[in-house]
Chain A
Amino acid sequence: MTELLSKELLSTIGRKAPPKRELVTRRDIRKYAVATGNRQRKYLDGDQAPPMFHVPLFWDVVELSELTPDGVSIDKLLPKFPLEKAMAGGLVIEYHKDIFPGDWLTAERTLTDIYLKQGRSGPLIFYEVVMDIRNDDGELVIREKTTRILR
């Protein structure tokens, strides 16, 4: 069971993706607020970014040739896992500072953990990715931890 997590696989814990720096614009905020059915004026007008605006801001933008046939970009931060069927995971988002148009934000993603649990029908691999988003003063704006499960 433990051999599912090879030394080589575990050595990828701590790996970081190249940081991405993006500009928050009023127009992008408005588009996101409209698309999510938001009903708060400050977001619909783009005066402030709603929670989860970091999701569109830092979604991978890759060239068409880098998308898989089902239209997904491959997350290069992740190693090849011995289990590949993805199950529901979860995420935790901490909101440390509000976000406004004109802000430059930098996201850095780290593969922070890989571990095994015994599920009802076999072993499950869990992995965690933390994305820290900071402003140009280096202050933490959002921390998001994603946990995914493979079977």
Chain B
Amino acid sequence: MSESRQTLQFAAIKAGDTLPEREFKPDNVQSMLYNAALWNGHRIHFDEAYAKEVEGYPGLVVAGPLLGDWLNQCVEEWLGEDGRLMSIEYSNRIASYTGDTLYSGGEVVACREADGEVDIDVFIKNEAGEVITPGRAVAKLNA
């Protein structure tokens, strides 16, 4: 990302370190491009009348795996080229809607010296501060 970022080294990482937060404002255009890239025809993501009148949602639903992708990006932007995302798990708990403002972020929860890996709790929050998509990632720092 930025040219001036410092190399991330395992020895300098400790539990409690936070990952940079990022703001997202999913809109109709991004939603259309994302669901088209997937070939996802689920109407709750692009047919507002259907989402509201038939399914009873307050608006167009942001696709769950898009929120999952943002968790991956949160870890990868923090790692840069200094490590590798090994695994991630997440769960979509609370729905969010086109037009919402959402935030990604994370916190290191464990460092395992034996294998140079760190465990990171990651999240997507909504404007009310609720964690709508919690997750856990494992990253391995370059030796």
**A residues bordering B, Cβ < 8 Å?**
28, 31-32, 34-40, 50-52, 55-56, 59-61, 67, 70-73, 88-95
Asked if residues A61 and B89 are in contact (CB atoms below 8 Å), the reply is no
Chain A residues with CB under 8 A of B72: 50-52
Q: A37-B30, A39-B73, A50-B72 are in contact. Are A59 and B89 (CB under 8 A)?
A: no
Interface mask (B36-59 → A, CB under 8 Å = 1, otherwise 0): 111111111001001000110000
Asked if residues A35 and B30 are in contact (CB atoms below 8 Å), the reply is yes
**B residues bordering A, Cβ < 8 Å?**
1, 24, 30, 33-34, 36-44, 47, 50, 54-55, 65-66, 68-70, 72-73, 76-77, 84-93
Cα of A67 to Cα of B128 in the assembled complex, Å: 35
Q: A36-B66, A71-B42 are in contact. Are A91 and B90 (CB under 8 A)?
A: yes
* Partner among B30, B37, B68 whose Cβ is within 8 Å of the Cβ of A91: B68
Cα of A51 to Cα of B88 in the assembled complex, Å: 10
Cα of A14 to Cα of B68 in the assembled complex, Å: 27
Cα of A136 to Cα of B85 in the assembled complex, Å: 23
Asked if residues B76 and A93 are in contact (CB atoms below 8 Å), the reply is no
Closest to B87 in A: A94
Asked if residues A90 and B91 are in contact (CB atoms below 8 Å), the reply is yes
* Distance in Å: Cβ of B68 to nearest Cβ of chain A: 6
A-B contact pairs, 14 of them (CB 8 A): A35-B37, A36-B70, A40-B73, A50-B72, A51-B69, A51-B72, A52-B68, A70-B44, A70-B50, A70-B54, A88-B92, A88-B93, A90-B90, A93-B88
* Partner among A37, A60, A70, A93 whose Cβ is within 8 Å of the Cβ of B43: A70
* Partner among A39, A59, A67, A94 whose Cβ is within 8 Å of the Cβ of B77: A39
Closest to A98 in B: B84
Cα of A76 to Cα of B67 in the assembled complex, Å: 26
Cα of A67 to Cα of B131 in the assembled complex, Å: 32
* Distance in Å: Cβ of B31 to nearest Cβ of chain A: 9
Cα of A68 to Cα of B103 in the assembled complex, Å: 33
Chain B residues with CB under 8 A of A94: 86-87
